[in-house]
Structure 1
Amino acid sequence: MSVRPWRDIVRRPSRRIMVGKVPVGGGAPIAVQTMTNTPTEDAAATIDQIRRCVEVGADIVRVSCPTVEATAAMGAICRASEVPIVADIHFHYKRALEAADAGAACLRINPGNIGSQERVREVVRAAKANGCSMRIGVNAGSLERHLLEKYGEPCPEALVESALEHMKMLQDEDFHEFKVSVKASDVFLAVAAYQGLSEVCDYPLHLGITEAGGLQGGTVKSSIGLGMLLWAGIGDTIRVSLSADPVEEVKVGYHMLKSLGIRARGVRVVSCPSCARQGFDVVKTVERLETALAHVTTELSLSVLGCVVNGPGEARETDIGITGGGGGKHMVYLSGVTSHHIDEPAMVDHIVSLVEKKAAEIEAAKAMTLLAAE
């Protein structure tokens, strides 16, 4: 039994599918996804944006395929990408066929929006032939007319019913390699829809608050909605939808998962908001450290506290800590224990060096463990 049951997250059981080489659902790590915003026809620009997203941890990247020219570029894009590519398809089922043949690992498509069941059957054949999974993406802003007439407005029941209708079209073709999303810009609507869908199916769920807004507002809005769902154990992949560089979406996604203790990548910084007691400029120090430590992917923790009120307590819980002291000399903690003082001018470089050393030690220990297990 956990000694801290109040922070346990019990994930919703779901079946597992594969998006390329990435397992989704069935207890697999929650995957972080983003979407390119370059013209897909410009393969070089799209490949470069995908590369930058992968550098900060993107597991899956979605690419829009609205035209023949876009799907023509998909072959080069998929070959160049280190992570699976999801082809975003709307209405034009032939784009799905082309994208599957070009190497897309997953097709984001709503079967009911591409026409007849025969067209759905063609897409399923292409998906099976190319080892593609699919994502059904229901959106409150584009609900089917009959559901709007039935319910009067977008509501959780309408989103769930739409998802079930699309799911049935794939199930009727004996295709089950798909995940589902029921996104809305309204946080309460999205959360309620996901909660409802989680109760009536065991397919993996892709989480997102759609059209969330800019970097700051969208981060807050997405964190509230996705945080509620993730804390309840709902969700197998996430995408933070921001009007910002896709790289920022990935970073925010990892910060969410890290904050909930679900999945970590890189350095988790614990820092105070600063006040008149601070022995050094906490805000600028944290900014410099986050930039200087962006290349570290090993999971470890760093506390940066401006004074001795909460500093020692926080430092006891982190791998490395720094607490502000008097006279420009600050206390450094290693593994929660006081270690030595450091002068302020050398502080940032010194902390970066300690973090890099600790990361190397952690990776070496992992390697030894793997070697011993072989």
Structure 2
Amino acid sequence: MSVRPWRDISRRKSRQIMVGKVPVGGDAPIAVQTMTNTLTSDAAATIAQILRCEEVGADIVRVSCPDVESTAALRTIVRGVNVPIVADIHFHYKRGLEAADAGAACLRINPGNIGSQARVKEIVNAAKANGCSIRIGVNAGSLEKHLLEKYGEPCPEALVESALEHMKMLQDEDFHEFKISVKASDVFLAVAAYNGLAEVCDYPLHLGITEAGGLQGGTVKSSIGLGMLLWAGVGDTIRVSLSADPVEEVKVGYHILKSLGIRARGVRVVSCPSCARQGFDVVKTVETLETRLAHITTPLSLSVLGCVVNGPGEARETDIGLTGGGNGRHMVFLSGITDHVIESEKMVDHIVMLVEKKAAELDAAKAAAEAAAIAAE
């Protein structure tokens, strides 16, 4: 039993599917996704954007395929990147067939928009033939007319019913390699819909608060909605939808997961907002450190506190800690223990060095443990 039960998250049990080489659901790590905003027909620009997203940790990237030019470019895009590509198909089922043949790892569709069951069958056959999974994408902004007439407005029950109807269309073709999303721009609507869907199926769920807004507002809105669901154990993949660079979506996604202790990547910085007690410029120091340490992918923690009020306490909980002192001399903590002092002018370079050293040690220890496990088999 955990000594901190209030921190435990009991994750919903879901079946596992594969999106290319990435497992989704089951006991797999929660995947972080994003979507390109380049013209998919411009393969070079789309590849460049995907590669930048890969650098910050994107597990899966979705691209829109609204026309033949886009699916024609998809083959080049898939070959030019490392992450699995999800092809977003809405109304034209033939784009789904073309995308599957072009190497898409997953097809994002709304089966009800594809047309007849015969067309859904064609999509399923193409997915089976090419090893594609499917994401059923239900959205409050595009609910079916009969559901709007039945419920009067978008509501959690309508989103769940839509998802169940679409699920049946795939199940009737004996296809089960799919995940589902029930997105809404209203946080309460989305959370209620996902919770309702989680109770009636075991398929993996892709979380998102759609049309969340710009970088700041969208980050807050997504953090609230996704945080509520993830804390309840719901969700197998996430996408933070922002009117911003897709790279920022990935960064925010990891920050949400790190904040909940679900998945770590890179340096988790604990820092104070600063006040008149600060022994150094905390805001500028944190900004500089985050930039200087962006290349670190090894999970570790760093506390940067301006004074001794909370500094030592926070430092005890992090791998490396910095607490502001007087006369331009500040205390450095290693593994929660007071270790040495550092002068202001050397502080940033010194902390960067310590973090890089710690990351190298952790990487070496992990590699040694993996080698020992392989040798023991």
* Structure 2 counterpart of 1:124: 124
- Three-state SS of the structure 1 residue aligned to 2:327 is helix
Aligned partner of 2:314 in structure 1 is 314
User: CA offset at residue 27 of structure 1?
Assistant: 1.5
Following TM superposition, by how much is the alpha carbon of 1:333 offset from its aligned partner in structure 2, in angstroms?
0.7
Letter paired with 1:43 = A
Distance in 2 of aligned mates of 1:277 and 1:68: 61
Once the two structures are TM-superposed, the CA of residue 202 in structure 1 deviates from its matched residue by 0.4
Question: Unaligned stretches of 5+ in structure 1?
Answer: none
Q: Identity rate of aligned residues, in percent?
A: 86
Q: Equivalent residue for 1:215?
A: 215
Residue 321 of structure 1: how far off its partner (Å): 0.6
The CA deviation at 1:276 is 0.4
Q: CA RMSD in A?
A: 0.4
User: Match for 1:169: what amino acid?
Assistant: M
Q: Structure 1 residues 338-347 or 47-56, which shifts more?
A: 338-347
Instruction: State yes or no: 1:225 paired with 2:234.
Output: no
Measure how far apart 1:371 and its partner are: 1.3
Report 1:311-350 matches (<5 A). Answer: 311-350=311-350
User: TM-score, normalising length from structure 1?
Assistant: 1.00
| Mapped partners of 1:5, 1:327: distance in 2 | 42
User: Residue 87 of structure 2 aligns to a residue in which SS?
Assistant: strand
Match in the other structure for 1:87: 87
Report the equivalent of 2:261. 261
1:153 equivalenced with 2:153 (yes/no): yes
Partner amino acid for 2:80?
A
Q: Look up the equivalent residue of 2:321 and give its one-letter code.
A: G
Question: What is residue 248 of structure 1 aligned with on the other side?
Answer: 248
CA distance in 1, matches of 2:250, 2:192: 24
Counterpart position of 1:167 = 167
Aligned residues: 374
Q: What is the alpha-carbon distance in structure 2 between the residues aligned to residue 313 and residue 14 of structure 1?
A: 39
For residue 3 of structure 1, what is the aligned residue in structure 2?
A: 3
**Mapping 1:68-83, distance limit 5 Å:** 68-83=68-83
- Aligned ranges for residues 89-128 of structure 1 at < 5 Å? 89-128=89-128
Name the counterpart of 2:285: 285
Matches within 5 A, 1:42-53: 42-53=42-53
User: How far off is 1:13 after superposition?
Assistant: 0.4
Give the Cα separation in 2 of the matches to 1:233 and 1:186: 20
2:367, 2:38 → 1: CA distance?
Answer: 38
Give the match's secondary structure for 1:27. Answer: coil
CA drift at 1:81: 1.3
Separation in 2 of the partners of 1:154 and 1:371?
53
What is the CA–CA distance in structure 2 between the aligned matches of 1:127 and 1:81, rounded to whole Å? 21
The separation in 2 between residues aligned to 1:66 and 1:373, in whole angstroms, is: 47
Hey, what's the Cα distance between the residues in 2 that align with 1:199 and 1:365?
Answer: 41
Matches of 1:165 and 1:61 in 2, distance apart? 26
Offset, 1:250: 0.2
Alignment partner, residue 134 of structure 2: 134
Letter in 1 for 2:131: G
Distance in 1 between the 2:165 and 2:253 partners?
A: 30
Give the structure 2 partner of residue 205 of structure 1: 205
The letter for the 1-side match of 2:190 is A
Following the alignment from structure 1 to structure 2, what is the Cα–Cα distance between the partners of residues 275 and 5? 33
